[in-house]
Each structure stands twice: as structure tokens, then as C-alpha cells.
Amino acid sequence: MPENIIFPAHFLPIFASFNHLRKMRFFLSLLLSFICFGTYADDGYRLWLKYDPIKNPALKAGYSKKLNSVFIQKTNETIAVAVAELKYATRGMLGKEILETKAPTSSLKLEITKLADISLEAFEIKTIKTQIVISGNTSNGVLYGVFELIRKMQLGESLENINVASSPKIHLRMLNHWDNNNGTIERGYAGMSMWKWYELPERIDPRYIDYARANASIGINGTVLNNVNASARFITGEYLGKVKALADVYRPYGIKVYLSVNFASPKILGKLKTADPLDPEVQKWWKEKADEIYKLIPDFGGFLVKANSEGEPGPMDFGRTHKDGANMLAEAIAPHGGLVIWRAFVYNFDPKGDRFAAAYNEFKKFDGEFLPNVIIQVKNGPIDFQVREPISPLFGAMEKTPVSIEFQLTQEYLGWATHWVYEAPMFEEVLKTDTYAKGKGSTVAKVIDGEAFKYPITSMVGVANTGSDRNWTGHPMAQANWYTLGRLAWNPEMNSATIADEWAKITFRSDAKTTETIKKLMLESREIYVNYTNPLGVHHVMGESHHFGPEPWVEKAPRPDWTALYYHRADSVGIGFDRTEKGSNSLAQYHPELRAKYADIKTIEPEYLLWFHHAPWNMQLATGRSVWNEMVSRYYEGVKSVEKMNIEWATLKGKVDEETFENVSARLKTQLKEAYWWRDASVLYFQKFSKMPVPAPYPKPTRTFEELKALVDVYHVR
């Protein structure tokens, strides 16, 4: 029998309230799930939930003494999975399982009780006399407390006189899956969809339970199952039965399911003549659909909507507004306690405009006019998940309407699954940016956690990077981005170094030197990627449509704001998009203090220079170099850094598991090859405008511009 398998008897309490068929199906799936985790110990499947034996004898003995028995005050499905996780963890790490007891004097106690913190998901872990007590306002809080205790064991922290009190600063901590019903994933780079719709609801894949465990361990409490470019099929009776089956699996782990909906569904499914949100028949159709959904899934989370964006249908097709559309859906699901999450990713077809300003222009005017169960979901930046973006102006503008922040875990613009990019520094950079909306200190973090504007409901979202690949995320190191989303959604004030340290220690369970090397590579990786692809605020110069590799020369696309020239605006004078008063004046959307930070071309941070200014090629920067020389320097130094990443990772051979080592090694080699491609193609293209030489000590690219441009067709046949 493989290591770390929990015997069936340990899961029996979970099924006490299940009907027979559901009980057996869930039981077998959960058992198989743990068998999978035990059988494939080192291929990345276990994520950060590795419960390998603790090597330090003293630490192991101390934990064993503290965790020999557990008393459960009151059980339910969630408490049952918490206890099962404890047994699994102690068996793996300590070589013995914690025993359930009816004696209140046990070494560990789980209880639901009223805490000082009013959050329903709050928990406390305290030593009371000789007993460790994990308390929660609800069973979900207890579950999170159990995972926190396990994390402390994984990190080798003391359990002596433990005193922890924690609650999430964000209410909705969610993953958005861009998965389609045919099994494909839009912008997915880790295989096919995890949801096997053709097997549901009859078969529950064990992977669904492992996904729930991983999410619960980092506090994620919501999942949108399907693509924002939504098929109406997902809200048919056929698919709602499948969604219910997933909701039943995730409920014990504190996770609600949500669906992306197609705004034209009344026409597509209901055969109505219109989907006009002010039409009584359309309103009636959505209310009846909501009733149908909530009858099947009483705790259904609600709808995510992409409307009038990139060809998706919406209220503007009928002369209505985003407010009209969102409020109509909100009214339909309000009686059930559901939410409408309306995406602000909309932009007009205007070749003379500035896409940067589009979301603000569409939504600011309706602030305070949305119903209470509407959240506006805003991408972290104003364009589209670029490698570095200034914050969206909406974070300082929507004072009366809750806004959610949307990050992208899947690496659409960050080299897909072949480039190692730890995204936490990017997220931290955004969250720490001051909007000045309520004076100095009104950071994005304080906006989205409700402190700045007192939002009644708050949300942080990550576009998921998971798929059917055995290691979940394709690139093994991309698992850290999923982990990061959960940790930051629980506490947006956490820093990327702390999260990197946690993840590296838990995932690799290696010596301190190895952990520090991995952590160093993680923390440097994002800036390295920026340097060899988009230095000084260059943006949207990736391949058209597929969004991979360099294509700064793209001047023709289905719409002008999908070209590269629209953004970089390189000419004989300089490069960059002028968003000051002399240009598009999109800077006016920020509060005066933040606007001033970006408005002066002489004092702006170099990293944002070309986002807001058309800078002359020969303009001197604070670095002592001209704009051209600084750009070239960063392209070349970025490639050098990838060379160093390869060298530093090679020193870890034998220090991390072989499969992961070889996997990352191969991807780093690919990353280096593609970094050279980015560097040389970009330098030779922009040199056509600057007419300046590659500065010393950097060598001129050996390949011609035509050869490099032709690589686009090698990588992506259209």
C-alpha cells in the first residue's frame, strides 16, 4: 500500500448525512483522491499539500505529543473533512494518525463557538492549559483553522502556547475558470479542462475533491466554473444537474459555485424575440431561470457577466446601459441571496480614442446606481493583464459601488507555461499603489477590502491557471501563483517574499539553502520577464490574437486597439503613448496626487514612462542613459538574467525531486531561447525608428530582423 493513504473508516463521519448513492459516490471519489496523492508523491500533483515525514526527530516528537487525540464538539460535513485532513496530515508527517475521542480532555479540540471577530469565516487557535483549541464562528472557520495548524507544521513552527486569531479581509475569494463545455480552456496552458462535463453528474472525478482541498487550504471560497465568453448551455437543465453535482462536492470545503452567463440567453434558450433587460418578458425569463437554479443549488453564488465586450452580447445591443443589464439580473437573483459580478472589461471601437479610459468612462457615471447585490469586477490595470500596468482608475473612483479586483493567474501575456514568472510581486505592486481616493494611504488593497469606501461586500478574483495536466498548472512553479491568490485574498497586506517563503518551504520540504535559492529565483522572475519583453512601460507588443512572443510590428488587426502600433507609437522622435493633457488626457481619471506622480516626464518612475509619455529616444533618464540605451540595456540584461536562472536552478539537482527538476530545467532552456527572440526582435524593430546603434558593451543581434519576424509563423501557424 502506498504511503499517506487514509483508510476508508476515517471518512465515515463525512457521509452520515448523505443519501446512500451520494454517500458511496463521494466516498469512493475521496478515497481514490487520497490514493492518487499517495501513489504519485513527487510529480507535482499534491501541490502545497505535501505531508511527507518530518525529518527533525525533536520537532516530530513535539508535534506527536501535541496532536495525539482530537475531540469534536459537533460534527457536520465540513468538520468531517477537516478531521479527515488532520488524519491524513498527521499520518504523513508524524507516522501516526490523530485519534478521535469522546473525551473533552483530548490534546486537540475543534469547536464552533462565538468569537470576538464577527466574520463568519474567522478562526482562533489557542493553547488552553495543555489543549490546543481550534475555534470558528462557523464550521468553515474551523476548517480554515485546521489548515492553518497543518501549515504551521509544514513550516516547522512551534505549537507551544499557540495563539492565532485570523479572519479574511476579503469576503469573496474566487477563481474564475475560462473553461468551455467542449473541454478546452481559453488562455489555458496546462492541458484541458478539469471538469469532465460528459461524465457528470454520474461520475465524480477524484480530482474535483483535491481541487477543493487545495482551495480550502488557502481560503478560496468561490469558483466560477465556465468561461466569461459563456455558452448559454451552462444554464440549461442538462448542465445545471452537472453543476449541482460539483456544488455538492465543494460545499463541505466552504466553496460556492458561480456561473458565467450569456446575456442573450433569453433569445438563445427561451426563444424570445429580444434580450432587452427592460423588457418584462426578459425579466420574467431570468427570474424563472434563477428560481430553477436555486431550487437545485440553494447556495448557488450567482452570475458572472461579460457583456458588450469583444463581441459578447449585452444590454447596449438594445440601447440600454451596463447598469440596466446588471440590475435586471441582480433583481432576478436577489430573493435567493445571489450576486451579480459584472465585468468592467469593456472598450469602444474608437481608433482615435484611448482604450485606457474606456472602463472608467462606462462605469463611473453609474456609481451608486447599481443594486446592492452587484459587484463591478475590474482588471488590475486599464488595458488587459499586461506584464506591468498602472492601476485601473476605477479603484479610486467607485465610492458607492463595490469593485472587485481581477488578477490573471494564467500567463496569457507572461510567456504561457514555458516562462517562469512568480506573479506575487506584480499583485503586491498593484495592491500597494495609493489611489489617494480618501487621502494619502488609500491603497488599492484598502479599496478592495472595503476600508476606504466601506463596501458591504468585497472580492478578489484570479483567472485560474489550472488544467488537466498532472501537476495542475503546466509549469510546476506556476502553482505558486494559485497559492498567492488565496493568501492575498485572505490578507491583501501580505508581501510577496513571505508568500514565496511559505510556498517554497511547504512545496519542496528541502534544506534552507535550496529554499533560499528557489525563493530568490521566484522573487526575481517577474522583473526579469518585464526586462526582456516590455521595458520602460512598453506594452501590448505581443503576438496578435495568440498573445505569445514579440510582434511590435503588428499594424493590422480586426480592430486598431488590437495592434501594437496603437500602443507603442514609435516614430523617429521617440516612443510611448502620451496620456497627459497634451495627449489623450486619460491621466485625468486619477486623483490629483496619483496623476502628478505620472504626469511629469522628468520624475516619473522609468517603469511607467512609456505608459504615459511619448519619450524622445535621446532623453536622459535618472539612470544616466538615454531612453534608447536604457531600453536596449534592459532587453540584454533580461536575457542575461535568464541565463543566470538556468545556472542557479542547475545547482538544485538532487535537492528537489527529479521530475520537477527536469521539468523546470527544460522550460528554462525554452525560456532562454524565447528571451533571445524577444530581445533581438524588439531591438531590431525599434532601431528602425531610433536610428541608434546597440550601445556598448552589448553585441548586435546575429539574426536579421526578417529572420526573427519569420519566427512568428514557426511558433504559431495561422
Residues recognised as catalytic: 310, 384, 412
Half-sphere exposure of 408 (CA within 13 A, CB side): 24
C-alpha cell at 449: 477590502
Cα–Cα distance measured from residue 482 to residue 235, given in angstroms and rounded to the nearest whole number: 27
Residues 6+ apart with CB under 8 A from 555: 563, 564, 565
C-alpha cell at 632: 536596449
Q: How far is CA 571 from CA 40, 530, 575, 615, in A?
A: 55, 22, 6, 10
SS3 179: strand
CA dihedral 210→216→218→220, nearest 10 degrees, is 110
Residue 371 burial (C-beta neighbours within 10 Å; 0-12, 13-18, 19+): middle
Task: Please give the DSSP secondary-structure letter assigned to residue 645.
Answer: H
Nearest to 464 by CA among 513, 511, 408: 408
User: Does the CA dihedral 198-200-206-211 come out positive or negative?
Assistant: positive
Cα–Cα distance measured from residue 133 to residue 79, given in angstroms and rounded to the nearest whole number: 14
Residues 6+ apart with CB under 8 A from 409: 175, 423, 462, 463, 464, 465, 478, 481, 482, 485
Preceding amide of 697 cis, omega within 30: yes
SS3 175: strand
Residue 418 corresponds to which amino acid? Answer: T
Cα–Cα distance measured from residue 82 to residue 99, given in angstroms and rounded to the nearest whole number: 13
C-alpha cell at 122: 474567522
C-alpha cell at 319: 440601447
Q: How many residues does the chain have?
A: 718
C-alpha cell at 620: 536622459
Residue 205 corresponds to which amino acid? Answer: D
What secondary structure, in 3-state letters, does 431-458 show? HCCECCECECCCEHHHHHCCCCCCCCCC
DSSP element (H, E) containing 420? none
CA angle, corner 394, sides to 392 and 400, nearest 5?
160
Phi then psi for residue 110, to 5 deg, are -110, 130
